[in-house]
Structure 1
Amino acid sequence: MAIRYLLAIFVLASVSESYYVGVGRYDITGPAAGINMMGYANPSQISNGIHLRQWSRAFIFAESSSSERVVFVNIDVCMTTQIMKLEVVKRLKALYGTTYTEDNVCISGIHTHSGPGGYWQYVLYEVTSLGFVKQSLDVVVDGIVESIKLAHHNMKQATLLTSVGSLTNASINRSPYAYEQNPDKGNYDANVDHTMFVLKMIDSSKNPLGMISWFAVHCTSMNNTNGLISADNKGYASLLTEMSYNKGQLPGQGEFVAAHSQSNEGDVSPNTKGPICIDTGKPCDYKTSTCNGRNEKCIASGPGKDMVDSTRIIAENQYYFGKTLFENASNPVSGPVDFKHSYVDMTKVMVKLENGTEVKTCPPAMGYSFAAGTVDGPGAFNFEQGDNGTGHTFWNIVRNRLHKPGKDQIECHHPKPILLDIGDMTVPYQWAAAIVPVQILRIGQLFILGVPGEFSTMAGRRLRDNVKKTLQQNGVTGDIEVVIAGLANTYADYITTPEEYSVQRYEGASTIYGPYTLVAYIQEFNKLAVAIAKGQSVDKGPEPPNDLSKQWSLVPRVLYDSVPIGKKFGEVEKDVKPSYARGNSTVVVSFYAGHPRNGLMTGKTFLTVEYKSTNSDWKVVHTDASWETRFRWKHTSEITGESLATVEWDIPSSALTGTYRIQHFGNHKNVLEKITPYTGVSSQFQVM
């Protein structure tokens, strides 16, 4: 053990500062009330407050202060969308010219299912959010740009090191039946990727500067009944890491920036107790994930006593393991910084298989098992996973009213029974992506694959192995590391192996370009790998559409706010108690409030928990970005526009004893649509 640490110290001392690195973080928290959350496609899952704020974390890498750069951005949203990436690049070009483009900027989503949706330009993903939500898109685009600006202006000499380990207590495979169809499963010791890869950044004084980890696990610890905005397990793991190095800083503050990023998590669940029938406690049907023929009762949970506790545990498991890898990282990064990017029309990619057969991808379509959902969040209407029959008469009629698939489309997607033939559905505009980006960022021997969707465990393994082999065959030497950055640059659903596709569980039914989607992606990424190895240019490919001007929305506007007669905005409706015991008490206080969509409080907070110091100054110890707090909002009368904001604080055992108060900040709108800020404050109380 001592020899290993001495070796690490020697490596750190001997590595030259060979890169310029910038890091930045900015608030991207969306509308905290009244907006459907993206991920579970559950119309009843509407935002009604905040548990954890959402952040954009940007990392810029260059060989020198004047050389070309690559940018990796990790965002606490469900996924990056095409319109999001296009708008970010447009803003960056206005600021920096050609320094940052769609080619060298990779934006990857962590896949939280507890963030406001509506930031799309494709109809399929806007249905449950009642269309486009401009406020959702704008705050994310603004925050990504601001985080990149911060990183751009903070560039400094830095050393990069890597570390790899196996984290085994944070994930399970939620579709093991599909995984077992893979003939190469015997090459691996688990049906999920346990590998965590960490990139460590330290400045010229050997001070921690930033960290990125890639690890595959869904951000579905918070289930589809949750209405509080949350960055789920990866977002909390990032905050824990940052706060451990930004000593004494509040969440979202401090110079050190850490991102726990997503990878090939398509079939990977954090609900490690696994699925059971919640009505009987018996195991679900292994092949279809049903209970007595119904999917709604087959739900996975754990490892905690509830979804919040489970989020904490999975987050802490990633945090502790990632921090250990970070502290022990000793493999120096060296070599060029480069990038390759191309757009591909995934509806008609021709691929030659190993046996010489030519196959092609298909226009997008969703299968019946897509509507079944998963054990992390089941669907409705008695669909079930593993449906690769001919469909059902009633739903076929419904489908045909939207768009009836033709013979060629049916044959192309076989054995998938088509539920939604979204490829040719263009009313009111396109329903799903046809043109998608593929991208490789190179930082020395590290190659980051920006993939526009959710690769299953085995699909990700095959992609990584193929790209690494291609790089080696084309002259790249040394200890090559290939990582997958999931849900990046746009979203085109799932990518399974052909064998997994054949049994049509949820992931296979959501592989929208047909059974040869994976082999098409491998082919296109191999083209980029050859080009980056040989320093060749690549075909830019067809331009994707920007349909921002076509977007529609049925989301009701905030008309006005009001309070009961004799009350004021910010006035306490239900006050705190005089005293609480730390470690096992929750402080609760409610205020007469305005609608949170009147102002997102970006870079600010809807609440503060404040401690009275010995000189009688008030010090903020928690905000709405803190794990220990919850901001809840609800209408008490939609007709009159009356509402309440409730602040909850779980007093940690580490809290100082003494005097505290809670403040609430918001904005209210009158009938003339004038928005006015207000503040409310609780009575003082004692923590014993």
Structure 2
Amino acid sequence: MGKKKEVDTFVSTPSLACRFVFGFLFLAILAGACFFVGYEFGVMDIFSKGKLEDNVVDPDTVPEPTPGNYLIGVGRTDVTGPIVQVNMMGYANPSQIAQGLHQRLYSRTFIVSDLQNKSRVVFVTVDNGMASQIVKLEVIKKLQAKYGNMYNERNVVISGTHSHSGPAGYFQTLLIEVTSLGAVKETTDTFINGIFDSIVKAHSNMREGKLFVGTDDVVEGNINRSPSAYLHDPEGEREKYNFNTEQEMTMLKFQASNGQPIGAFTWFPVHGTSMNFSNHLISSDNRGRASALFEKMMRKPGEELSGNESFVAAFASANLGDVSPRTKGPICVDTGKSCDFAKSTCGVPPRVQKCNGFGPGVDMFDSTDIIANRQFETSKLIYNKTGVELEGSVGWVHQYVDMSKAPVKLDDGTTVTTCKPGMGYSFAAGTTDGPGAFDFTQSMTEGTFLWDTVRDEIIVKVVCSTPPPTEYYDCHRPKPVLLPTGYMDKPYAWHPHIVDVQMLKIGQLIIIAVPGEFTTMAGRRIKDAIAKEAIRFGVHNPKVVLAGLSNVYTHYITTPEEYEAQRYEGASTIFGPHTFQAYYQTYSSLVGPLVTAKQDNVSRGPAPDNILSEQIQLLPPPFPDRVPDGKNFGDVITDVNSTYKSGEKATVSFYGANPRHNMKLGSTYLAVEQLVNKTTWKTVYVDTDWSTIFQWDDGVSGSNAVERNVITAIFDIIHSVFDIHFEYEKAMQLYDEGEFQLTESLNDLINDGVIINRRSRAIQDLTRLGVLRFNADKTNTLSLKELPTVESHVTIDWWVPDDQPSGTYRITYYGDHKDQAGTVTSFVGHSSQFQVQAA
């Protein structure tokens, strides 16, 4: 257990009497209106419309309002997006293709304004891998079209929960999208529209209220997955802390002036990797599960379905860079022995593929639930405390910074700069949460002949307009650069250069929004620095939280000492060894303008490019559907049993259709229904409930026996865009046998991505050896009428909860099929009735 943090209770300053009177009259009138209007919830009617409506049910008796310190609002919107055929964002594994749904994804928003409505801030946390700059810029466009300049990139923060089981394809730069074969419009549009909608909901719900901050420790909620790098930090610094990860959870509690609870947002460092890379179900992972548990606990009368609660509970990211939820730690899966401490390898020759982290449960579903419940239990403890009531100004500060050449002043007084982006060798090794590729290991500080050759003679020549100079590689030392992404600009930029540096202030609370994954110690250092600066500028007893993966994704930020270790996190610190100091100095310099409300004096900095129109999209559309002769869409293939007991799994399969035809945002693909009054079916569970699983199978999607990873995906993109196919597995075999040799440089053979001399000796050699092919396996674009029809099956599982009442039930499937003319038609399928026998 870590050290407990004690919190003081502050007494708010009373507001003016007129505010009290008018607030009371307004709430009294509102309560009367609600009484006469009444409330009704028709589940089947809602599903037929394809939308779950929001239900805010006020208590029958409204407590007498008390003056609040702020105007506050919260909102939540379904942003699940495509649930099949799309690559998942997080593990960078091209083979991890979604084939169904376990938990829906949500955008959760809070807005806080001062009572004079002069300054407001917005914080959004989304159940996805990380925030995207292109998504934020597009959300701001929509907000400004609706509200003018009330909301802009300077006072809006968008943060990702870092689930590794959400859909990919929503970024503005190419490296993050290679495994999804470029952009996925369905994902991008869903996130843009859903985040915007959650902000609109929070805006429309704003009312006078109070805010409270509290903290407590999560017991056994995480471990450090790169402890060897953490040990590079100074011993004296490490001795100040009991653990090599942060245990503390911080909560911001929202309460209306009538005492009604409306929301809670927490920050705690842990990766969204409880669901492992073998998972093919869209899932919000441990944070989303914790949110669902809390929101279910806070349901009001009439709120009976998951995802439809009026209370918003968000579990946001913190400094989770080196923090894993797999609390049993890594082992070699073939021997059960410990992995190499520094390199995370097993066996001879040493490979990372068999070094995996496990726990705390018996499988990934159990582990997700356990880590979620540990966060949930701590959040309940914090919520039930009084906490510290926030008082004081609402503010923000924001600046765009070119992190590819940011100046950094060192302790000796000299000035250096950060580097253009680049990924190190150990990036390709992955982590113990998701091991990487080929012969890469963690802690690599030297390159190899094979991969240096592949980098220089294929990657650089094909996708770089200008080859990186020697100074670029020197800038990144001791990182050996595998992917010089700062120079990789074809067909467009592979990494961002311009990043958001942003902070929000609500009374004593300061939220540092960082564009990546800070490690434990990097987060501690920058939070301490911001707190000291805030005190220097007059903030009494500030509470500082770090919101990771915000606004734009720039991978990792380690301390300079951890960078020297070149574990995965250091290899993925893309702007070089001085990255942390650049952020440290920039954020520290902005505390004064934030606290003194002089944020308008801060220069905007160089604006990022909006290149949404330039993105490549290689994911094919969903094919038309078919069923066997004599069958209809929604017909049962394999039916349920007649009886189930608590804890057993009810399963039914249907002739189905591709779920991409209708993402059913705010609705559901399935329902578990209970027969009531012998005539009426009542929906009791939907597709976002933990006890249900929706799986889709067309017999083709997601099947791939060949090892695929981020490196192979890069060559897939090169093949698709430039008609050049590199046989990486054959090249590795030749390298191991000492036969991988180039008789002449490819520098004279490739010009602007085009082979200009295919008869050269080198090309002949590589072609004969089977390493390079041209114009290989290209497929023509088919019209809709030429697309093949596909027969698909849908399987729905329902694990009967232990407390489920006895009764008659059935499982319903809501689908949509498309014909070859492009027409989409809805249909419904039902299982047979079955009995549940309560324990």
Normalising by structure 2, report the TM-score. 0.80
Out of 312, 315, 323, the residue aligned to residue 257 of structure 1 is 312
Out of 541, 548, 570, the residue aligned to residue 508 of structure 1 is 570
Whole-Å separation in 1 of the counterparts to 2:393 and 2:814: 48
- Look up the equivalent residue of 2:177 and give its one-letter code: E
- Answering whether residue 210 of structure 2 is matched by residue 163 of structure 1, we say no
Whole-Å separation in 1 of the counterparts to 2:219 and 2:643: 42
Q: Name 1:143's counterpart in structure 2.
A: 194
- Answering whether residue 800 of structure 2 is matched by residue 685 of structure 1, we say no
- Answering whether residue 131 of structure 2 is matched by residue 68 of structure 1, we say no
Instruction: Compute the displacement of 1:631 (Å).
Output: 0.3
Whole-Å separation in 2 of the counterparts to 1:572 and 1:141: 36
C-alpha contact 1:8 1:328 (8 A) present in aligned 2: no
- Answering whether residue 560 of structure 2 is matched by residue 523 of structure 1, we say no
Out of 85, 96, 110, the residue aligned to residue 147 of structure 2 is 96
Whole-Å separation in 2 of the counterparts to 1:479 and 1:225: 45
CA 1:356/1:309 → structure 2, altered by over 3 Å: closer, same or farther? same
Q: Name 2:276's counterpart in structure 1.
A: 223
- Look up the equivalent residue of 1:603 and give its one-letter code: G
- Look up the equivalent residue of 1:159 and give its one-letter code: K
Helix, strand or coil: the match of 2:279?
A: coil
Q: Name 1:3's counterpart in structure 2.
A: none
- Look up the equivalent residue of 2:545 and give its one-letter code: V
- Answering whether residue 231 of structure 2 is matched by residue 180 of structure 1, we say yes
C-alpha contact 2:9 2:386 (8 A) present in aligned 1: no
Instruction: Compute the displacement of 1:67 (Å).
Output: 2.4
CA 1:59/1:65 → structure 2, altered by over 3 Å: closer, same or farther? farther
Q: Name 1:665's counterpart in structure 2.
A: 814
Instruction: Compute the displacement of 1:68 (Å).
Output: 2.0
CA 1:72/1:637 → structure 2, altered by over 3 Å: closer, same or farther? closer
Once the two structures are superposed, residues 579-598 of structure 1 have per-residue CA deviations (whole angstroms, 9 ceiling, x without a partner) of 1112x210101111110111
Helix, strand or coil: the match of 1:686?
A: strand
Q: Name 1:386's counterpart in structure 2.
A: 443
Segments of 5+ residues of structure 1 without an aligned counterpart are: 1-6
Helix, strand or coil: the match of 2:561?
A: helix
Out of 589, 606, 615, the residue aligned to residue 542 of structure 1 is 606
C-alpha contact 1:171 1:271 (8 A) present in aligned 2: yes
Instruction: Compute the displacement of 1:65 (Å).
Output: 6.0
Whole-Å separation in 1 of the counterparts to 2:224 and 2:8: 35
Helix, strand or coil: the match of 1:170?
A: coil
Helix, strand or coil: the match of 2:584?
A: helix
CA 1:9/1:487 → structure 2, altered by over 3 Å: closer, same or farther? closer
Larger relative strand fraction: 1
Instruction: Compute the displacement of 1:614 (Å).
Output: 2.3
- Look up the equivalent residue of 1:427 and give its one-letter code: K
Q: Name 2:686's counterpart in structure 1.
A: 623
Out of 419, 422, 429, the residue aligned to residue 362 of structure 1 is 419
- Look up the equivalent residue of 1:586 and give its one-letter code: K
Q: Name 1:418's counterpart in structure 2.
A: 481
Once the two structures are superposed, residues 208-256 of structure 1 have per-residue CA deviations (whole angstroms, 9 ceiling, x without a partner) of 1100100000000000000000000001101111110014532111211
Instruction: Compute the displacement of 1:562 (Å).
Output: 0.5
Helix, strand or coil: the match of 2:150?
A: coil
Q: Name 1:399's counterpart in structure 2.
A: 455
Q: Name 1:200's counterpart in structure 2.
A: 253
Instruction: Compute the displacement of 1:604 (Å).
Output: 0.4
C-alpha contact 2:812 2:829 (8 A) present in aligned 1: yes
CA 1:531/1:8 → structure 2, altered by over 3 Å: closer, same or farther? closer
Whole-Å separation in 1 of the counterparts to 2:666 and 2:591: 39
Normalising by structure 1, report the TM-score. 0.97
- Answering whether residue 483 of structure 2 is matched by residue 446 of structure 1, we say no
Instruction: Compute the displacement of 1:333 (Å).
Output: 0.4
Whole-Å separation in 2 of the counterparts to 1:615 and 1:680: 20
- Answering whether residue 74 of structure 2 is matched by residue 19 of structure 1, we say no
Helix, strand or coil: the match of 2:486?
A: helix
- Look up the equivalent residue of 1:283 and give its one-letter code: S
Helix, strand or coil: the match of 1:608?
A: strand
Whole-Å separation in 2 of the counterparts to 1:322 and 1:548: 38
Once the two structures are superposed, residues 653-677 of structure 1 have per-residue CA deviations (whole angstroms, 9 ceiling, x without a partner) of 1111100111111111111111111
Could you tell which deviates more after superposition, 48-57 or 584-593?
584-593
Instruction: Compute the displacement of 1:197 (Å).
Output: 0.5
C-alpha contact 2:404 2:420 (8 A) present in aligned 1: yes
C-alpha contact 1:12 1:330 (8 A) present in aligned 2: no
Whole-Å separation in 1 of the counterparts to 2:471 and 2:817: 55
Once the two structures are superposed, residues 95-121 of structure 1 have per-residue CA deviations (whole angstroms, 9 ceiling, x without a partner) of 111111000010110000001100112
Whole-Å separation in 1 of the counterparts to 2:410 and 2:376: 41
* Matched length: 679
Whole-Å separation in 2 of the counterparts to 1:68 and 1:143: 24
Could you tell which deviates more after superposition, 631-640 or 541-550?
631-640
Whole-Å separation in 2 of the counterparts to 1:295 and 1:12: 55
C-alpha contact 1:637 1:643 (8 A) present in aligned 2: no
Out of 294, 304, 308, the residue aligned to residue 241 of structure 1 is 294
Q: Name 1:266's counterpart in structure 2.
A: 321
C-alpha contact 1:416 1:504 (8 A) present in aligned 2: yes
C-alpha contact 1:85 1:102 (8 A) present in aligned 2: yes
Out of 501, 526, 541, the residue aligned to residue 463 of structure 1 is 526
| RMSD of aligned residue pairs (Cα, Å) | 1.5
C-alpha contact 2:505 2:595 (8 A) present in aligned 1: no
C-alpha contact 1:296 1:382 (8 A) present in aligned 2: no
Whole-Å separation in 1 of the counterparts to 2:216 and 2:800: 35
Q: Name 2:205's counterpart in structure 1.
A: 154
Instruction: Compute the displacement of 1:11 (Å).
Output: 5.5
Once the two structures are superposed, residues 247-300 of structure 1 have per-residue CA deviations (whole angstroms, 9 ceiling, x without a partner) of 453211121101010000000000000000000000000011111211000000
Percent of pairs identical after alignment?
A: 48
Helix, strand or coil: the match of 2:650?
A: strand
Out of 71, 89, 93, the residue aligned to residue 38 of structure 1 is 89
Whole-Å separation in 2 of the counterparts to 1:320 and 1:168: 9
Whole-Å separation in 1 of the counterparts to 2:670 and 2:357: 33
Once the two structures are superposed, residues 125-155 of structure 1 have per-residue CA deviations (whole angstroms, 9 ceiling, x without a partner) of 1111011100001111111111111111100
C-alpha contact 2:346 2:355 (8 A) present in aligned 1: yes
| Alignment map for 1:117-132 (pairs within 5 Å) | 117-132=168-183
Whole-Å separation in 2 of the counterparts to 1:349 and 1:476: 29
Instruction: Compute the displacement of 1:306 (Å).
Output: 0.3
Q: Name 1:641's counterpart in structure 2.
A: 790
C-alpha contact 2:623 2:789 (8 A) present in aligned 1: no
- Look up the equivalent residue of 1:286 and give its one-letter code: F
Whole-Å separation in 2 of the counterparts to 1:108 and 1:618: 39
CA 1:8/1:386 → structure 2, altered by over 3 Å: closer, same or farther? closer
CA 1:532/1:9 → structure 2, altered by over 3 Å: closer, same or farther? closer
C-alpha contact 2:555 2:573 (8 A) present in aligned 1: yes
C-alpha contact 2:216 2:381 (8 A) present in aligned 1: no
Helix, strand or coil: the match of 2:590?
A: helix
- Look up the equivalent residue of 2:451 and give its one-letter code: W
- Look up the equivalent residue of 2:320 and give its one-letter code: E
CA 1:118/1:339 → structure 2, altered by over 3 Å: closer, same or farther? same
- Answering whether residue 656 of structure 2 is matched by residue 601 of structure 1, we say no
Helix, strand or coil: the match of 1:187?
A: coil
Whole-Å separation in 1 of the counterparts to 2:606 and 2:11: 45
Helix, strand or coil: the match of 1:111?
A: coil
Q: Name 1:372's counterpart in structure 2.
A: 429
Instruction: Compute the displacement of 1:168 (Å).
Output: 3.1
C-alpha contact 1:299 1:376 (8 A) present in aligned 2: yes
Whole-Å separation in 2 of the counterparts to 1:34 and 1:559: 11
Helix, strand or coil: the match of 2:553?
A: coil
Whole-Å separation in 2 of the counterparts to 1:94 and 1:456: 37
Could you tell which deviates more after superposition, 486-495 or 321-330?
321-330
